[in-house]
Amino acid sequence: MSTIEDVKPVPVTLGGVRGGPERRTLRRDRWWASPAFTYAVLTLFVAYTAWAVFQNADYYVGVNMHRDLISPLYSPCIMGSCVPGAHGTFLVLHWWTITPAIFALSVPAAFRSTCYYYRKAYYRSFWQAPPACGVADGHARYTGETRFPLILQNLHRYAWGLALVWNVILTIDAVMAFRMPGDGGIGVSVGSLILTVNAIALWLYSLSCHACRHLCGGHVDQFSKAPIRHRLWKLVTPLNGRHMQFAWFSLFMVVLADVYVRIVAAGWIHDPKLF
Amino acid sequence: MSTTIDLAGGETLELHDFDVVVIGAGGAGLRAAVEAKQRGLRTALVCKSLLGKAHTVMAEGGAAAAMGNVWPEDNWQVHFRDTMRGGKMLNNWRMAQLHAQESPDRIYELERWGALFDRTKDGRILQRDFGGHRYARLAHVGDRTGLELIRTLQQRAVALGLEVFMECKVLRLLKDSTGQVSAAVGYWRPTGGFVAFTAKAFVLATGGVGKAWKYTSNSWESTGDGHAMALWAGADMIDMECVQFHPTGMVWPLSVRGILVTEGVRGDGGVLRNSEGRRFMFDYIPAMFAAETADTEAEADRWYDDHINNRRPPELLPRDEVARSINAEVKAGRGSPHGGVFLDIASRRSADYIRRRLPSMYHQFKELAGVDITQEPMEVGPTCHYIMGGVRVDADTAATTVPGLFAAGEVAGGMHGSNRLGGNSLSDLLVFGRRAGMAAADFAEGRVGQPGFDEAEARQVVADALAPFSREDGENPYEVHHALQETMQSLVGIIRTESELRQALDELATLEERASHVAVRGGRAYNPGWNLATDLPSMLAVSQLVTRGAIERRESRGGHTRDDYPKADPELGKVNMVQRLDERGQWVLTPEPLPQMPPELAALFDEGASTSANGAATDGKAGAATAGDGRDGQPREGQQSTQTTEEGR
Amino acid sequence: MGDVTMRIWRGDQNGGQFVDYTVPEVEGEVVLDVVHRIQAGPAPDLACRWNCKAGKCGSCSAEINGKPRLMCMTRMDQLPTEEPIVLAPMRTFPIIRDLVTDVSFNYVMARQLPPLKPRDPEPDGTYRMQQVDVERGQEFRKCIECFLCQDVCHVIRDHEENKPHYAGPRFFIRYMELESHPLDTNDRRELLRQRMGIGLCNITKCCTEVCPEGIKITDNAIIPLKERVVDGAYDPIAWLGRKILRRTKRSAREVAADAPAAYAPTSEDLGERRAVPETAGRA
Ligand SMILES: Cc1cc2nc3c(=O)[nH]c(=O)nc-3n(C[C@H](O)[C@H](O)[C@H](O)COP(=O)(O)OP(=O)(O)OC[C@H]3O[C@@H](n4cnc5c(N)ncnc54)[C@H](O)[C@@H]3O)c2cc1C
Ligand SMILES: Cc1cc2nc3c(=O)[nH]c(=O)nc-3n(C[C@H](O)[C@H](O)[C@H](O)COP(=O)(O)OP(=O)(O)OC[C@H]3O[C@@H](n4cnc5c(N)ncnc54)[C@H](O)[C@@H]3O)c2cc1C
Ligand code: SF4
Ligand code: SF4
Ligand code: FES
Ligand code: FES
């Protein structure tokens, strides 16, 4: 570990009188609209997911309906409690008897909650630190991400690594969704398309991750000496610029996929085969 | 070391002592201070705005240095010759030589201090083409080279622990009984409290004078304080009439009046039109350029693609010609609604092309003016840009004629002759900033005895500065400033005649009178009205210098154009117009011969001398003004043969 | 055209209030032009800092209708003129007068920044760097030091007590520039973590939102720096890797030992040098 004692601190004059009025903000636009919207959407999402997790039913469309569709909220489904057919092939945790979604969601939850973008979103909307630019945050003290638990945000890259494994699994799910047992063997249905788009969205979201950008090449100081990492970095950088869009898009896709599988599994509609 | 002196009336004066005090924190001042500090001297840097905000940040194009990274053929001799020719041979040859020889080292040094210049394919510093430079020679960072330069030097200065006195405006230099400059008196802008510095050597690096004119590309700080302080301290000033006006500054909207529009717009196909939509430049082709200038629009338009078989468009005539024509059009009532003419590239080039070739111009108009230059024409007119004249200095040491006083940067004269080439200023700052720092350090080390401090004189400076507060019903300083700007703009502008200049002198006398009666209200802390009131004497002194010089130089040469003497006079080309205040405070002006160039350097001008030297007549400017951005660093065909001494930015 | 009312905060350390100035509307003006007209007319002592009026020097920072912006780059026709336009000084820094604040905090942070320590040059005394090596840093060097990002950053805007240990976004980009500098041999990560408050930033991106130069402060500097700090301090695998490969960058201590001049305390600190009005605060 390096020491830093030799960098001489220069005192900062504190407590100077500030100009302007003592008011939370001078902004007159609707600065609260965006955090309020984020607040609403994230709350809805969390509420829906919580509900869906404890449903512990209607997350798999199987052979009896000539399909192989699994909700992304329940995949990988390798628990003793999984409905038959949704099981993973290689590994089954027979002792797991509560809803399998808790395991399936652990990694995405860790990934998204430590995501640099979602951090911004919930720090602004939930924690109100700050609610919007130039609007006082109103907390008495502020330590940012320097203490437990928030210091754990620094492990985001591990969550990212695990999320990639999940992405592979959800990609396999999407590929499997083109199997239509008893309905022509292989085909394209609305459900398979939704799962495919969901998988693509998840890849875009994870590959545009800031930790990914760092690990690909961001850590390099002299790009010309590391052409491959530079190329990777160049590939990831434009994706990274749209990370927010991918974050919302993939979130929306996950919910859409779950809802779709759920209504098909519940027998409300039939998954239409397109060709 | 600092002490406080009580002045009369409860007024106090903070007194600091240093070895070297540098006044001005632009490129030149910073470089000088860094040099003195590196030598281990107690050095202070004083500037009237915050550190890092000096006018140098506005420089865009680049810093000229014959590094030969793009064109190995380039060397200091070629750069030297370009500079002398650009200055119409009025330059101090030794300064031009040192500048050409030392700029590459100064640029490399910046890189060691953290500057990130654009690169060539093989990893060296990329160089770009510019008007008047025979080879692509400008080290640059996109179009914000000045910012890079100032930030690098600023960070270097901070790393060295240099003491910086920010927002501290120096008013006067004081001499002690030995006749050497020994102190400077000024005030803190944030508090209005007075402060003085004693030091063994002082370096002036206060930049330009543009704010005396109505339309200028210069920043707020360019009020010629250094010029005036040197003059008042008894220093010689040379060639103050040589002020560079750029023909295309923005005139509208109000918010951007004076801001520069790069020559690249015309080089890339932009044309000038009057209110009738006519490309009026065809009406103003002077006989001496007729042979090389297109006389039909068709031919002019072909030139952009084929320089060899067509003559160049009249829009690319020398700067004074273009500016004169714009003036004439406006006077004849064919100007644009806001007193300029139209510069139109929108109707001539695709939106894509414009955005690609002129990104910063596109951005500048879009952001500042709400004008989309791919859709609408721009309104342009001449703008005051740079002063070539300044304090007379010794080339090797930057010493002025007053012992203990050194000067570098735009405030010093001689380096650029009667016309500066684009990019030569930034490298000038580095080369002569360093030399001034070195020489000031030498001088400080060699100076015997403690510099004296004349308290009575300091008290007078303070009293003069405070006088506007005590006047009950004086004039608002802003009104005097506006009147001064009007006078200089209309009478000592780009085209001058004897009668107008004499009229200007009369008006300046009146303005001086008015300036001595301005009143300021409010407190002293950060009072802009007061600040302007203390700027007025400097601007008035500079205006006088320019006007007097302009009267005496009865010829047209480089930046100085006389309607009544439209040709260059070979005899006047051999003299500097030297001005000073004598012991009784009388203005003295004497033409003095230029330093003599040694034969081996003079020989450089023998070959291909056709486009060289004397004056507007053979100004040779209009060649390929498409100096372009050259960002690819690839030499272009015909580049060496088509020359231009046209100023870039 | 009609009139426009500017509601400008006038005051100093002893307090102040908004004062309305109504001036005729003029086409094509920016906020700074209107302030100048107010100075030339009704309020010649209205304090406002500016230099270039072209968005290049970063002097004219203020809060316009509550948003930190450059006065010279904010066009009047982009602001709603039915209501008065509110002009206040930057909130985060101590007031000097009217629209002018004491930004010496930033110069103090600049002083503590370990400068570039370049590796040895090529035999010809110069360096080789490719365009791709310098491009990342060039983005950060566009900074005009307007300090709007420092002003908007809630870490110090709303929590004065964080100032001594928080470099702020303007200097995070400078740290990133140096940390990723192709010639640099210095390691400032621990300094950043322990004393410069990289962990205090919660990446809420207000700095990026206000930067007039459009520098992607959060995405391109702060987050990459946070990741670099993770490499050095939090990532167990990276730590193990370093142990095994014995690869370390130089510590700040070693670096400091090599370049003592850079850290040598100067006789007095910059705050005093700026002659901040005495009532401005306690040390
Ligand atoms: C969506 C969500 C976001 C959460 N965000 C945070 C969080 O940002 N910070 C946190 O400590 N716990 C956070 N938690 C965890 C939980 O709220 C803790 O119980 C909390 O720290 C207790 O705060 P308090 O009631 O004492 O409030 P406070 O007095 O407001 O704060 C207590 C502590 O939290 C820190 N803090 C406040 N706001 C922030 C912020 N925006 N960023 C970093 N630190 C901050 C303060 O420095 C202080 O140390 C979050 C939980 C959820 C579900
Ligand atoms: C738009 C524009 C573009 C340009 N582009 C280029 C280019 O591409 N290439 C090129 O080579 N040149 C260019 N120039 C010219 C060049 O920028 C200037 O000539 C040069 O920056 C002058 O630098 P300086 O160090 O002499 O002074 P400045 O940078 O003007 O600094 C003057 C300093 O003196 C201080 N000062 C002044 N008066 C006082 C006082 N009374 N007390 C205390 N301090 C004082 C100021 O605070 C400031 O710090 C350009 C100029 C303009 C206007
Ligand atoms: S992203 Fe970080 S540095 Fe930027 S404003 Fe927010 S907290 Fe401050
Ligand atoms: S990073 Fe942007 S906002 Fe911050 S000081 Fe620099 S230019 Fe201003
Ligand atoms: S997933 Fe958002 S930053 Fe890593
Ligand atoms: S005055 Fe220079 S940025 Fe506004």
Contact map slice: B 99-138 vs C, CB within 8 A: 108, 111-114, 116-119, 122-125
SS3 B162: coil
CA dist., res. B147 & res. B150, Å (int): 5
More confident residue, B288 or B533: B533
Segment A15-39 mean pLDDT: 92
HEC sequence for B289-300 = HHCCECCCHHHH
Q: Quick one: pLDDT at residue C248? A: 56
Ranked by mean pLDDT, which of A93-107, B28-42, B50-64 comes out on top?
B28-42
Contacts of B519 in chain C (CB under 8 A): none
Q: Quick one: pLDDT at residue C275? A: 39
- What are the structural domains of chain B? 245-385 (3.90.700.10)
Band of residue B110 on the pLDDT scale cut at 50, 70, 90: very high
**Residue with CA at minimum distance from ligand 4 atom 8:** C146
Query: pLDDT tens digits for C1-11?
Result: 689 999 999 99
> Is C60 close to ligand 6, i.e. is its CB under 6 Å away?
yes
Q: Is the pLDDT of residue A267 over 60?
A: yes
Check if C101 contacts A (Cβ < 8 Å): yes
Task: Give CATH for domain C3-100.
Answer: 3.10.20.30
Determine whether the interchain pair C134/B117 forms a contact, defined as Cβ–Cβ distance below 8 Å: yes
Which among B253, B259, B528 has the least Cβ separation from residue C39?
B528
Q: Quick one: pLDDT at residue B318? A: 66
Q: Quick one: pLDDT at residue B505? A: 97
Least confidently predicted of B411-420, C25-34, C89-98, C210-219: C25-34
Q: Is the pLDDT of residue B633 over 60?
A: no
More confident residue, B320 or B244: B244
Q: Quick one: pLDDT at residue C283? A: 29
Please give the single-letter amino acid code of residue B488: M
HEC sequence for B259-273 = CECCCHHHHCCCEEE
Determine whether the interchain pair C44/B521 forms a contact, defined as Cβ–Cβ distance below 8 Å: yes
> Is C197 close to ligand 3, i.e. is its CB under 6 Å away?
no
Distance in Å, CA A210 to ligand 5 centroid: 5
The encoded tokens of residue B161 equal: 């622990």
Find out whether B2 and B195 touch, Cβ atoms under 8 Å: no
Core vs surface per residue A180-196: b (16+ CB within 10 A) or e: beeeeeeeebbbbebbb
Distance in Å, CA A228 to ligand 3 centroid: 32
Residues in chain A: 275
Angle between helices B498-515 and B528-552 (to 10 degrees): 150
Q: Quick one: pLDDT at residue B368? A: 80
Determine whether the interchain pair C194/A4 forms a contact, defined as Cβ–Cβ distance below 8 Å: yes
Check if C185 contacts A (Cβ < 8 Å): no
Band of residue B623 on the pLDDT scale cut at 50, 70, 90: very low
CA dist., res. A264 & res. A61, Å (int): 7
Residue B608 burial (CB count, 10 A) = 9
Q: Quick one: pLDDT at residue B374? A: 92
Q: Residue for token digits 């702060």?
A: C222
What is the Cα B355 distance to its own chain's centre? 29
Check if C66 contacts A (Cβ < 8 Å): yes
Contacts of B476 in chain C (CB under 8 A): 40, 44
CATH superfamily membership of C103-271: Alpha-helical ferredoxin (1.10.1060.10)
Q: Quick one: pLDDT at residue C66? A: 95
More confident residue, B94 or B263: B94
Q: Which atom of ligand 1 is nearest to the CA of A143?
A: 47
Distance in Å, CA A117 to ligand 5 centroid: 6
Q: Report the percent of chain B where pLDDT is more than 70.
A: 92
- The full set of domain ranges for chain C reads 3-100, 103-271
CA dist., res. C212 & res. C145, Å (int): 10
Q: Which atom of ligand 3 is nearest to the CA of C206?
A: 5
Q: Of the residues C60, C70, C143, which should be mutated to test ligand 4's pocket, given the most ligand atoms within 8 Å of the CB?
A: C143
CA dist., res. C134 & res. C181, Å (int): 7
Interface partners of chain A (CB pairs < 8 Å, 3 or more) are C
Find out whether B162 and C74 touch, Cβ atoms under 8 Å: no
Angle at C197 between CA C191 and CA C198, to 5 degrees: 85
Q: Is the pLDDT of residue A159 over 50?
A: yes
Mode of pairing for the β-strands spanning B63-64 and B43-46: unpaired
Which among B158, B195, B369 has the least Cβ separation from residue C110?
B158
- DSSP characters for C173-212? HHHHHHHT-TTB----HHHHHHTS-TTT-----HHHHH-T
Angle at C208 between CA C138 and CA A134, to 5 degrees: 145
Find out whether C52 and C58 touch, Cβ atoms under 8 Å: no
- DSSP characters for B84-105? HHHTTT-S-HHHHHHHHHHHHH
Contacts of C46 in chain B (CB under 8 A): 528
Q: Where are the alpha helices (DSSP H) in B396-475?
A: 424-446, 455-470
Q: Which of B425, B509, B444 is nearest to B197 (CA)?
A: B444
Distance in Å, CA C196 to ligand 1 centroid: 21
Going by the DSSP 8-state scheme, the letter that residue C97 receives in this structure is: E
Catalytic residues of B: 246, 266
More confident residue, A138 or C279: A138
**Residue with CA at minimum distance from ligand 1 atom 46:** A142
Query: Residue B407 forms beta bridges with which residues?
Result: B204
**Residue with CA at minimum distance from ligand 5 atom 4:** A209
Segment A99-114 mean pLDDT: 95
CA dist., res. B177 & res. B325, Å (int): 54
Contact map slice: C 123-162 vs A, CB within 8 A: 129-130, 132-133, 136, 152, 154-155, 157-162
From the CA of A158, the nearest ligand is 5
Nearest CA in chain C to B188: C275
More confident residue, B368 or C172: C172
Interface partners of chain B (CB pairs < 8 Å, 3 or more) are C
Nearest-Cα distance to chain C for A257, in Å, is: 30
Least confidently predicted of A213-222, A262-271, B290-299, B491-500: B290-299
Determine whether the interchain pair C104/A13 forms a contact, defined as Cβ–Cβ distance below 8 Å: yes
Nearest-Cα distance to chain C for A90, in Å, is: 28
**Residue with CA at minimum distance from ligand 3 atom 7:** C201
Query: pLDDT tens digits for B187-226?
Result: 999 999 999 999 999 999 999 999 999 889 898 889 999 9
Q: Report the percent of chain A where pLDDT is more than 90.
A: 77
- Mean pLDDT over all residues of chain C? 86
Mode of pairing for the β-strands spanning C100-101 and B2-6: unpaired
Query: pLDDT tens digits for B417-438?
Result: 998 888 899 999 999 999 999 9
pTM over 0.90: no
Q: How far is CA B446 from CA B204, B439, B508, in A?
A: 19, 10, 42
Q: Quick one: pLDDT at residue C267? A: 32
Band of residue B1 on the pLDDT scale cut at 50, 70, 90: low
Q: Which of B170, B14, B46 is nearest to B531 (CA)?
A: B170
> Is B59 close to ligand 2, i.e. is its CB under 6 Å away?
yes
Query: pLDDT tens digits for B326-347?
Result: 888 988 899 998 889 999 999 9
Q: What is the largest CA-CA distance in chain B?
A: 77
- Mean pLDDT over all residues of chain B? 88
Query: pLDDT tens digits for B37-96?
Result: 999 999 999 999 999 999 999 887 789 999 999 889 999 999 999 999 888 899 999 999
Q: Which of B237, B236, B232, B233 is nearest to B181 (CA)?
A: B233
Q: Is the pLDDT of residue B612 over 60?
A: no
Contacts of C128 in chain B (CB under 8 A): 122-124
Core vs surface per residue B55-94: b (16+ CB within 10 A) or e: bbbbbbbbbbbbbbbbbeebbbbbbbbbbbbbbbbbbbbb
Interface confidence (ipTM) of the complex: 0.93
Determine whether the interchain pair C28/B521 forms a contact, defined as Cβ–Cβ distance below 8 Å: no
Segment B120-126 mean pLDDT: 93
Q: Quick one: pLDDT at residue C54? A: 85
Segment B479-503 mean pLDDT: 94
Distance in Å, CA A11 to ligand 3 centroid: 22
Residue A198: Cβ-neighbour burial (10 angstroms; 0-12, 13-18, 19+): buried
> Is C201 close to ligand 4, i.e. is its CB under 6 Å away?
no
Angle between helices B93-112 and B424-446 (to 10 degrees): 90
More confident residue, B185 or B337: B185
Q: Quick one: pLDDT at residue C103? A: 95
Find out whether B623 and B599 touch, Cβ atoms under 8 Å: no
- DSSP characters for B469-481? HH-SS-B-HHHHH
Q: Of the residues C92, C157, C204, C215, which should be mutated to test ligand 3's pocket, given the most ligand atoms within 8 Å of the CB?
A: C204
Check if B593 contacts C (Cβ < 8 Å): no
**Residue with CA at minimum distance from ligand 1 atom 19:** A149
Q: Quick one: pLDDT at residue B647? A: 39
Q: Which atom of ligand 2 is nearest to the CA of B260?
A: 1
HEC sequence for B175-243 = ECCCCCEEEEEEEECCCCCEEEEEEEEEEECCCCCHHHCCCECCCCCCCCHHHHHHHHCCCCEECCCCE
Please give the single-letter amino acid code of residue B399: A
Q: Is the pLDDT of residue B625 over 60?
A: no
Q: Is the pLDDT of residue B357 over 80?
A: no
Contacts of A6 in chain C (CB under 8 A): 252-253, 256-257, 263
Q: Residue for token digits 């005539």?
A: B317
